[in-house]
Amino acid sequence: MTQLYDRVALIGLGLIAGSMALAMRRAGLAGEIVGTARSAETRATAAEIGLVDRVTETAAQAVQGADLVVLAVPVGAMGAVAEEIAPHLKPGATVTDVGSVKRAVIDAVAPHIPQGVHFIPAHPLAGTEHSGPRSGFAELFDNRWCLLVPVPDTDPQATARLRTLWEGMGANVDEMDADHHDLVLAVTSHAPHLIAYTMVGVADDIRRVTDSEVIKYSAAGFRDFTRIAASDPTMWRDVFLTNKDATLEILGRFTEELFALQRAIRTGDGQQLFDYFTRTRAIRRGIIEAGQDTDAPDFGRVKKS
């Protein structure tokens, strides 16, 4: 691949930003990669493992001279970071983000973006339950989707360049309106996470099932709830607070479906249960056929070497 940006600044050095640094380096997409993080410990770790070419103490220092700035902090912190870096952004630079909510990020960040700087929100649909600067790996985005959410009057060339970057990092790229994005993610990610957190919490509450049994016999479905529920608590707190309406709408639908299944179980309606499970099984097959997971017994989560 051709080098697309002379200097990239990563604000936040967790799983996504770290994987971006490694993926950009793998494909030669950036000249210099600069990074910073709020925590001194994170900055020290990133410097120690050579995650980026240069680590700075502040976001303002990191963005100086950068052609691309990536906001990779929890969505609740994006507005404050945008305000901090605004006076230091290079004219003609692109600012993007990796948050899993888009309307709230646009509302928080866009007012701070100076004239002549391009703001192109984005969301890579990739991740693991791990976080921190040691958790990234270059293959994270391979054959995963990244959604670009350009704001009105976005420069098409700046969008095309960012699209090429994500494709160079291995991702499939699509564009989507912010509100539709937030509804789609409420279905595919946000509500499932909340349900997983709830199920793990329920197991913790039912004292008739001991902690040792929960851990010992979790090779069943519970294991996969715990994987999701191990995700970063700050990030997910902010997701639910900033995508409130869409998440509540989907949770309302979920509650209706749950009541229908409760009724089928109570009344012994085996046909309804069978038909329902047949429909949901087809969705799983569709995900596998789309190349977004495998049908291996480990759910495709073989540890990367």
Cβ contact 1:168 at 8 Å: yes
Q: Is 29 exposed, middle or buried (0-12, 13-18, 19+ CB in 10 A)?
A: buried
| Tokens encoding 129 | 């339950």
State the pTM of this model. 0.86
Q: What is the pLDDT of residue 231?
A: 82
Assign 108 a pLDDT band (cuts: 50, 70, 90): very high
Q: What is the pLDDT of residue 220?
A: 64
| Tokens encoding 58 | 């502040």
The full DSSP string for 270-295 is HHHHHHHHHHHHHHHHHHHHTTSS--
Classified by CATH at the fold level, domain 180-268 comes out as 6-phosphogluconate dehydrogenase C-terminal fold (1.10.3660)
pLDDT tens sequence across 67-86:
999 999 999 999 999 999 99
| Tokens encoding 281 | 């099984």
Assign 291 a pLDDT band (cuts: 50, 70, 90): confident
Q: What is the pLDDT of residue 140?
A: 96
Assign 304 a pLDDT band (cuts: 50, 70, 90): very low
Q: What is the pLDDT of residue 196?
A: 87
Mean pLDDT for all residues in the chain? 91
Average pLDDT over residues 212-217: 70
What value does the CA radius of gyration of the chain take, rounded to a whole number of Å?
21
Domains of the chain: which residue ranges?
5-176, 180-268
CATH superfamily of 5-176: NAD(P)-binding Rossmann-like Domain (3.40.50.720)
Assign 293 a pLDDT band (cuts: 50, 70, 90): confident
Distance, CA of 299 to chain centre: 19
Assign 117 a pLDDT band (cuts: 50, 70, 90): very high
pLDDT tens sequence across 227-252:
788 888 888 899 999 999 999 999 99
Among 76, 85, 159, residue whose Cα is nearest residue 122: 159
Give the whole-angstrom CA distance, residue 117 versus residue 174.
22
Average pLDDT over residues 215-220: 66
Give me the residues paired with residue 68 across strands: 8, 94
Beta-carbon count within 10 A of 165 CB: 27
Does 142 score more than 80 pLDDT?
Answer: yes
Does 261 score more than 90 pLDDT?
Answer: yes
Cβ contact 11:73 at 8 Å: yes
